[in-house]
């Protein structure tokens, strides 16, 4: 794999497998996620993309039958270690979902809520403004901070959710199809925002949209169904490389077929 | 199978590229024939007919751009469409070389200076044959042919050098022929460059198939040495 020089990894997975009950969702995935870069995860429906990124902040813990094998190393520690508090992890690793899900509260409260429960001691007004500015939403909402978050447009709601994630000052932001419910203009705004954010944060984005992955990311991981276990639909990592390589000259035929729309 | 329509459209464009290629081949052979026979009338027609090649080039380019915009090709498809754009441009420039030869036939008129016509004919036959095979290899993505074909450019270069020396010799022997002899230099130069562009087409074939951007042309542009 072509690697940029001096790239530090923020997350490393080691033989990461996830099971739901007796069903295996992903099998022995080994990935290095570089810091201050945008990494896209692509692959056909049901191949385990969301399962994979939900391992990065232990969201899979919330599914009772889920079991994780292997390691997710973040800040030199396996986040599945027994001594690790998943709430602490989720504070450092924020998440944005497919459908914008602001709290049914004011714009201001949406941002301040997380900080309050984390006993934030700083100036709350400043935190709200800073987070909204970082999410490129401030200019649009600064005069109506007490308006309900649900009254914003879909694109604004999604940026509000990004601002909410930023307010807890995470290192890594996971985005699970953050733009699939948005129109093209709102989508481009999110993608531009991602480029601004990567100066300070690391972003992992799951997307079904090849153009989005090629436009917005620096690295791309292609996950697909293990060809030797098609019946079981187990997700494996097929190819991982710089985005420019994946979309111009991928090494694997399976990647080629998927990104050029010939299967999946 | 997904992408059937896309595949069909690519096939149509490939057919058009082959057609453009055969127009260029014919124009080149015709231009050398009228140059040999100093057939002024046909030379004029050839100069005018270059417009057909230019029009076909724009039509193909447009079809490729539409496909890029509507199908968002990636990986092999992207390399293929980008290469088709480049090859179409190469063909159009090769058409200009044929036009140039016809134009020089008219400039030379009934001049009696010695012309290395056998070399010129050989160069044209060789270059046209190379173009023909390079386009087949391009369409079939035959990397084997694409890699070996450029070696034949050495033969064209050798014929160019030989012709160049004989033309310069004429110039030295009789400086009054310098103006007409330089017209001859343009003719052999055009054929030499024609073959270089065949090499470019082969490079694109390798690129489509492997993603590698290989420089296969060992010889420099001979005109740079002038």
pLDDT in tens, A49-64: 999 999 999 998 889 9
Q: Cβ A261–B2 below 8 Å, yes or no?
A: yes
Least confident segment among A40-44, A112-116, B1-5:
B1-5
Give the tens place of pLDDT for each residue, A192-224: 999 999 999 999 999 999 999 999 999 999 999
Q: Cβ A263–B74 below 8 Å, yes or no?
A: no
Question: Does ipTM exceed 0.90?
Answer: no
Q: What percent of chain A has pLDDT over 70?
A: 98
Taking CB atoms and an 8 Å cut-off, how many pairs form between chains A and B? Answer: 35
Q: Cβ A260–B72 below 8 Å, yes or no?
A: no
SS3 category, A142? coil
pLDDT at residue A78 in the model = 95
Contact residues, chain A, for B2 at CB < 8 Å: 261-263
Q: Cβ A248–B79 below 8 Å, yes or no?
A: yes
Cα gap A150→A147, rounded to integer Å: 8
The pLDDT-based confidence of A115 (bands split at 50, 70, 90) is: confident
pLDDT at residue A230 in the model = 85
Which of A211, A260, A263 shows the shortest C-beta gap to B75? A260
Contact residues, chain B, for A239 at CB < 8 Å: none
Candidates B1, B75, B141, B206, partner chain A, best to mutate (most A CBs within 10 A): B75
pLDDT at residue B225 in the model = 37
Least confident segment among A116-120, A253-257, B161-165:
A116-120
Cα gap A245→A237, rounded to integer Å: 16
Q: What 3 state SS string does chain B have?
A: CCCHHHHHHHHHHHHHHHHHHHHHHHHHHHHHHHHHHCCHHHHHHHHHHHHHHHHHHHHHHHHHHHHHHHHCCCHHHHHHHHHHHHHHHHHHHHHHHHHHHHHHHHHHCCCCCCCCHHHHHHHHHHHHHHHHHHHHHHHHCCHHHHHHHHHHHHHHHHHHHHHHHHHHHHHHHCHHHHHHHHHHHHHHHHHHHHHHHHHHHHHHHHHHHHCCCCCCCCCCCHHHHC
Which of B3, B74, B77 shows the shortest C-beta gap to A214? B74
Which carries the bigger pLDDT value, residue B25 or residue A230? B25
For chain A, the average pLDDT equals 93
pLDDT at residue B222 in the model = 40
Name the minimum distance, in Å, from the CA of A247 to any CA of chain B: 5
Give the tens place of pLDDT for each residue, A99-108: 999 999 999 9
Name the minimum distance, in Å, from the CA of A261 to any CA of chain B: 7
Name the minimum distance, in Å, from the CA of B143 to any CA of chain A: 16
Which carries the bigger pLDDT value, residue A198 or residue A75? A198
Can you give the pTM of this predicted structure?
A: 0.84
* A143-172 residues labelled b (16+ CB within 10 A) or e (exposed): eebeeebbebeebbbbbbbbbbbbbbbbbb
pLDDT at residue B2 in the model = 60
Give the tens place of pLDDT for each residue, A3-33: 677 889 999 999 999 999 999 999 999 999 9
* Chain A, nearest residue to B81 by Cα: A248
pLDDT at residue A231 in the model = 86
Cα gap A232→A131, rounded to integer Å: 43
pLDDT at residue B223 in the model = 38
Checking if the pLDDT of A2 tops 70, the result is no
pLDDT at residue A261 in the model = 87
Contact residues, chain B, for A256 at CB < 8 Å: 75-76
Q: Cβ B75–A256 below 8 Å, yes or no?
A: yes
Q: Which residues of chain B have pLDDT under 50?
A: 1, 218, 220-226
Checking if the pLDDT of A245 tops 60, the result is yes
Strands A23-34, A93-96: pairing is unpaired
**Cβ partners under 8 Å of residue A252, min gap 6:** A222, A238, A239
CA distances, B42 to each of A65, B33, B36 (Å): 83, 10, 12
Q: Cβ B3–A262 below 8 Å, yes or no?
A: yes
Contact residues, chain B, for A260 at CB < 8 Å: 3, 73-77
Contact residues, chain A, for B77 at CB < 8 Å: 260
Contact residues, chain A, for B76 at CB < 8 Å: 256, 260
Contact residues, chain B, for A214 at CB < 8 Å: 74
């Amino acid at each position: 794999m072509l690697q940029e020089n001096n790239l530090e990894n923020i997350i490393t997975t080691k033989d990461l497998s996830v099971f739901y009950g007796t069903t295996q969702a992903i099998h022995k995935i080994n990935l290095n996620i570089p810091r201050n870069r945008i990494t896209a995860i692509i692959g056909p429906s049901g191949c385990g993309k969301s399962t994979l990124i939900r391992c990065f902040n232990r969201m899979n813990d919330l599914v009772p039958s889920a079991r994780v094998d292997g390691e997710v190393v973040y800040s030199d520690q396996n986040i599945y270690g027994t001594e690790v508090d998943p709430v602490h992890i989720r504070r450092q690793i924020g998440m944005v979902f497919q459908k914008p899900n602001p709290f049914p509260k004011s714009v201001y409260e949406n941002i301040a809520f997380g900080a309050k429960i984390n006993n934030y001691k700083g100036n709350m007004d400043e935190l709200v403004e800073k987070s909204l500015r970082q999410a490129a939403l401030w200019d649009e909402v600064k005069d109506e901070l007490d308006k309900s978050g649900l009254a914003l447009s879909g694109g604004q709601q999604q940026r509000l959710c990004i601002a909410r994630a930023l307010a807890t000052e995470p290192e890594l932001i996971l985005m699970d199809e953050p733009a699939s419910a948005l129109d093209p203009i709102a989508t481009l705004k999110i993608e531009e925002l991602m480029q601004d954010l990567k100066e300070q944060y690391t972003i992992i984005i799951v997307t079904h949209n090849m153009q989005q992955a090629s436009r917005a990311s620096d690295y791309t991981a292609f996950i697909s169904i293990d060809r030797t276990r098609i019946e079981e639909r187990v997700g494996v990592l097929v190819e991982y490389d710089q985005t420019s390589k994946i979309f111009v000259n991928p090494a694997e035929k399976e990647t080629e077929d998927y990104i050029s729309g010939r299967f999946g | 199978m997904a992408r059937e329509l896309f595949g069909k459209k690519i096939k149509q464009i490939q057919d058009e590229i082959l057609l453009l290629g055969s127009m260029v081949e014919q124009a080149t052979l015709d231009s050398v024939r009228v140059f040999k026979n100093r057939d002024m009338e046909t030379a004029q027609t050839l100069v005018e007919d270059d417009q057909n090649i230019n029009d076909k080039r724009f039509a193909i380019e447009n079809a490729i751009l539409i496909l890029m915009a509507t199908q968002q090709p990636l990986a092999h498809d992207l390399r293929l469409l980008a290469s088709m754009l480049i090859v179409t441009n190469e063909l159009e420039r090769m058409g200009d070389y044929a036009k140039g030869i016809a134009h020089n036939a008219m400039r030379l008129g009934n001049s009696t200076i010695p012309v290395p016509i056998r070399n010129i004919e050989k160069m044209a036959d060789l270059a046209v044959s190379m173009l023909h095979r390079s386009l087949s290899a391009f369409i079939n993505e035959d990397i084997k042919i694409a890699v070996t074909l450029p070696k034949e450019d050495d033969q064209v270069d050798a014929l160019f050098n030989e012709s160049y020396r004989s033309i310069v010799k004429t110039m030295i022997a009789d400086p009054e022929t310098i103006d007409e002899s330089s017209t001859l230099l343009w003719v052999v130069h055009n054929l030499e460059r024609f073959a270089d562009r065949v090499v470019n087409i082969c490079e694109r074939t390798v690129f489509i198939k492997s993603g590698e951007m290989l420089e296969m042309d060992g010889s420099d542009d001979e005109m740079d040495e002038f």
